[in-house]
Amino acid sequence: MRKDQIALQVYTIREHAQTAPDLERSLARVSEIGYRAVQISGVGPIEPREIRRICDAAGLAICATHEPAKAIIESPESVVERLQILGCRHTCYPYPHLAFDSLDAVRRLADGLNRAGAVLKAAGQTLSYHNHALEFQRLGDQTVLEILYEHTDRELVQAEIDTYWVQAGGGDPVDWCRRLPGRLPLLHLKDYTVLKNEPEMAALGQGNLNFPASIEAADGSGCEWFIVEQDKGFDDPFRAIATSLRYLERLAS
């Protein structure tokens, strides 16, 4: 991992990104903290051209987005158009819009992801799947996440592994970073700690995950972007993202 591969998921500061003026002020702070790229998600109803202008003004590249799951499956052409406006190549299916209640349901989602991924690939873009913990439920002798990757074309559907949610689901983040060679362009980094016997999210380096090993494994799988994402539990998200960036900078080559 190089320093220029580190990015911030804007969802982390979503409460400060719901209007164009707030997004502009917030991304200026993000740039001052030291980030040079962002993943766009969780912002308010702001036109993509305005988002692009604000990011350009802050000196922030848009490395990826999260788009609505239903839109990706049902109208991938609209996703292609949005990514083109943002000047961005990567997007992710962020959260299942259908229940994983059977093997057939998971395979239908895989088919939909393949179709959407083909549309994006034809436009020079890449679709990845972002996991939470629910993909670690088992259907037979495999987890849902294993089934999804087995039944999607690696050329059409890639991965955005989330370290916290893999751990929360009972998986091994290092193993998942290692087992997707050539299929892991994006990695979500958030730490996992325990307070009063309950799991909690933490700024990087403040919890228990083995990030040096995960980052080494992700590097070996060809990861392009190492993205700080912290969903909840932070009184001051800007202080948390600064802590996380300083931690990653110490690990960077």
Whose tokens are 């912002």? That residue is: 43
Considering the entire predicted model, what is its pTM? 0.96
How is 41-64 classified by DSSP, letter by letter? -S--S--HHHHHHHHHHHT-EEEE
Q: Domain 3-251, what fold?
A: TIM Barrel (3.20.20)
Q: Where are the domains of the chain?
A: 3-251
Q: Tell me the two tokens of residue 173.
A: 């983040």
Backbone angles phi, psi at 174, to 5 degrees: -65, -45
Q: How many CB atoms lie within 10 A of CB 165?
A: 24
Tell me which residue of 11, 109, 148 sits closest to 66, measured CA to CA: 11
Q: Tell me the two tokens of residue 137.
A: 């439920």
How far is it, in rounded angstroms, from Cα 18 to Cα 6? Answer: 23
Whose tokens are 């299916």? That residue is: 93
pLDDT tens digits, the chain, 253 residues: what are they?
999 999 999 999 999 999 999 999 999 999 999 999 999 999 999 999 999 999 999 999 999 999 999 999 999 999 999 999 999 999 999 999 988 889 999 999 999 999 999 999 999 999 999 999 999 999 999 999 999 999 999 999 999 999 999 999 999 999 999 999 999 999 999 999 999 999 999 999 999 999 999 999 999 999 999 999 988 767 899 999 999 999 999 999 7
Q: State residue 253's pLDDT score.
A: 79
Q: State residue 101's pLDDT score.
A: 87
The answer to whether the CB of 225 falls within 8 A of the CB of 90 is: yes
